[in-house]
Amino acid sequence: MTQPQDLPKEAGHRLEELEHGLFTSDLSVNEFLLIKEAGFHPLGFVMGSSIYHTGIQARRWSKSQELTKLTEAMYNARELAMTRMEEEADQLGADGVVGVRLDVNYYEWGRDAAEFIAVGTAVKAEDGTSHRNKLGKPFTSDLSGQDFWTIMQTGYVPQGLVMGTCVFHIAHRGIGQTLGTVGQNVELPNFTQALYEARELAMTRMQDEANTLGATGIVGVRLEEKSHQWGSHTIEFLSLGTAVTKSAGDVTLPKPITVISLDN
């Protein structure tokens, strides 16, 4: 088992206690039951955090462009938080982490700085089979307990929470451009292409991460957009999803049965 590189001392004490059999988790009772049903046991609530100074980057008023320094900062900060969470899971001997949530918080005392947090519940297979990913690390996923059980029934197993980000500056329109389309209902191809390109870049990067994990696909992809503290023309496009691989041959899924609820 690899030793955590940069976890705080307090994390070490907490994790030691968890190693003695006590577990913590943020799973609901139903999620807990389904994780058990899928053949896994929760080991502990794990987290990783990184306070990152995102700085500034010069942008041109009239040019749509990716702000690569900011993209890099947003990516590295989340990666650090995720890695620290994985280190905690690794120390517990976990096979994976389910229900991962990635948040960004801003504090008054830290101008241009943001705290990136990753939290989730570390789990381990009860039969001792290793479910670690291709890189030998615990898998991560934002799947709920119910989703985790369902995906395992389909013959797919999670490999990792993958993400791609792109911070993009959308150009302002010049006086000439504005006057040229005054009073018209028209498409603005520059805006369309800029927003399109930014989202596609984020999704491509997410897909590249999935390929690194040898994934067959990504499920539950979602696209988030935030301007953080940069003003409305600078937007972070974040794409997130759980990379999965097919674990077995063909799986015949049971045909759903019709039910009628007797509840209200």
Partner 1 sequence: MVASGPTEPDDDGPPAQGGGGADGDLPEAAGRRLGGSSFSSGLTVPDFAACLQMGLEPVGLVQGFCVMQWGWYGSGSPYMRGMTPYAFGGNAPRGAYSETYSCPHGGYVYSNEHRIWGQNYQQPWVESAWAQGFGSAYARMVEEAAEVGAHGIIGVVDTTRHLADMNVTEFHILGTAVVVQGGAAPPGGTPWTTYLAGQRLAKLVEAGYMPVSVVAALSSVRVWAYCVTEMLMEGTLSRFGGGYLPVSEVEQLSRAHIAARSLAREHVRSQLGNDTLQGASIVANTQSLAQGDEVIECALRGTRVRRFKDFDPLPAPRPTVRLT
List contacts with partner 1 (CB under 8 A). 30, 143, 146-147, 150-151, 153-154, 170, 172-173, 181-188, 191-193, 195-197, 199-201, 203-204, 206-208, 210-211, 215-223, 232-233, 241, 243, 253, 255-263
Q: Which CB sits closer to partner 1, 92 or 238?
A: 238
Least separation in angstroms between residue 115's CB and partner 1 is: 27
Q: Which CB sits closer to partner 1, 65 or 146?
A: 146
Q: What is the CA radius of gyration of the chain?
A: 22
Least separation in angstroms between residue 182's CB and partner 1 is: 7
Q: Which residues contact 158 (CB under 8 A, 6 or more apart)?
A: 96, 98, 139, 140, 141, 143, 148, 151, 242, 243, 244
Least separation in angstroms between residue 193's CB and partner 1 is: 6
Gap between the terminal Cα atoms of the chain:
51
Output DSSP code: residue 229.
T
CA distances from 258 to 90, 147, 255, 261 (A): 42, 20, 10, 10
Q: Which CB sits closer to partner 1, 48 or 158?
A: 158
Q: Which residues contact 82 (CB under 8 A, 6 or more apart)?
A: 48, 100, 102, 118, 140, 161
3-class SS at 157? strand
Least separation in angstroms between residue 18's CB and partner 1 is: 27
Residue 243 · residue 207 · CB < 8 Å: no
Q: Which CB sits closer to partner 1, 4 or 220?
A: 220
Q: Which CB sits closer to partner 1, 51 or 223?
A: 223
Least separation in angstroms between residue 235's CB and partner 1 is: 9
